[in-house]
Amino acid sequence: SDIEKGMYPHFMLKEMDEQPGVIRKILQAYENEQGELAMDENIVNAFNEADRLYIIAAGTSYHAGLIGKHYFEKIAGIPVEVHISSEFGYNMPLLSEKPLFLFITQSGETADSRQVLVKIKALGYPSITLTNATGSTLSREADHTLLLYAGPEIAVASTKAYTAQVAVLAIAAYVVAKKRGKTVEIDLKKELAITANAIQTLVDSKEEMEQIAHEFLAVSRNAFFIGRNLDYYVSLEGALKVKEISYIQAEGFAGGELKHGTIALIEEGTPVFAIVTQQAVSLNTRGNVKEVVARGANPCILSMEGLEEENDRFVLPKVHALLTPLVAVIPLQLISYYAALHRGCDVDKPRNLAKSVTVE
C-alpha cells in the first residue's frame, strides 16, 4: 500500500490519532463562503423533500446510522428508520410516500448494501451514499454522494470513518433543519470544534487506556458494554471493536435490557463498561452498574465531566449532549486496541474479517 504507517506500529493507532484532524477537515469541507455549515443544494433538497429517511448500512456504519437517526429526528424533525443491509432485501419494511435512502458505507463497496441500492433504484426511489471512497460502486450508483473526508482507512477495524460518519450526519441534519426553518438550539460548528479538541485530549490519554485494557481485558473471556440512549449506540460500537480485534466475546446493550436476560451472564470479575454521558438517563445507567456489581462484576464507568462520581474510572471532557458519541467512542477504540495488543492479536488484520465485504 502507498499509505504509510510512518512511526506508528499499526494503522489502527495512526487512524485513531487522525480523528481530531478529520473532524476539522470535515468542518472545512462542509462550509460555505460565509463560513456557515453547508452542503450541496441538491442533497439538501433531497433530504428536505423526503417524508422519511431510510438509513441502510452494515457493521460499524450501521452503528453510525443509529446515531444519524437520533440527529435527523431530533434536529431536523424527519422520521428515520435504520436497517441492516443484509436484512432489508427479504424483510423490506412498508415504505412511506416519499422515502429517501441513505447508504452509509466507508468503502462504498459492501455488497449487502449494494443489493438494497439496486432494489430501491428499480422502484424509482432517490438515494444518497455517505462514503469515504470517491468513485466507489455505491457512490457511482446512487443519485448523490456525501463524502467523509477521513482519508484512506486501512485497519480492518473502523475508527476514523465512524467518527467522520457521525460528524457528517450531524452536519446534514443541521443543514436540513435550517433549510426547513426549524429552530436549531445547537451551534454545531462551534460544538464540533470543541469536540475535535476533546478527541485530541482522549487520543493523548493512551497510557490511561492501556492501563484500563490491562486491568479489565487482559484475561477475561467476555465483556459487556452498557449505556442508554446515545450511550447505548456507543456501547454497540465499543463491543464490536473489542470483538473484532481482541476476540473477546463482547456484547453491547441498552442498560434497561440487563434484567431481561444478560444479567444471568454476570459472574465474579466480569468486566462491565458503562457509558454515562446523557444526564437524563445517567442515574438509570448507574443503577444498572449497582445491579451488576452486586453480582460480582468488575465495573468500568466512563462518564462525562459534570456527571462524574467518585469511583468512575475515566472522565470524558465535556462536549454538547448531542455529540457525546464522538468522544465516548474514543476510549473504547483505544481500550480494544490495547487489549488486542496485549493478547497478541493481529490488530490491523484480524482473523476471518475483511475491510470491505464484496459478497452477499
Q: Select which of 5, 119, 121, 355 is catalytic.
A: 355
Separation CA 224–CA 274 (nearest Å): 8
- Upper half-sphere CA count for residue 34 (Cβ side, 13 Å): 4
Separation CA 76–CA 109 (nearest Å): 29
At residue 107, what is the residue type? S
Separation CA 293–CA 159 (nearest Å): 30
3-class SS at 274? strand
CA-closest candidate to residue 348, choices 21, 1, 48: 1
Active site residue 189: no
Measured from each CB, the residue nearest to ligand G6P is: 59
Instruction: Kindly state the smallest distance separating residue 156's Cβ from ligand G6P, in Å.
Output: 5
Which residue, 59 or 255, has its beta carbon nearer to ligand G6P? 59
Cell 476476540 identifies what position? Answer: 247
Which residue, 313 or 355, has its beta carbon nearer to ligand G6P? 355
Instruction: Kindly state the smallest distance separating residue 164's Cβ from ligand G6P, in Å.
Output: 11
Which residue, 81 or 208, has its beta carbon nearer to ligand G6P? 81
Which residue, 118 or 354, has its beta carbon nearer to ligand G6P? 354
Instruction: Kindly state the smallest distance separating residue 354's Cβ from ligand G6P, in Å.
Output: 6
CA-closest candidate to residue 40, choices 144, 113, 118, 173: 144
Instruction: Name the DSSP letter for residue 317.
Output: P
Instruction: Kindly state the smallest distance separating residue 107's Cβ from ligand G6P, in Å.
Output: 3
The binding site for ligand G6P (CB under 6 A) comprises 58-61, 105-107, 110, 113, 156, 158, 353-357
**Catalytic residue annotation:** 355
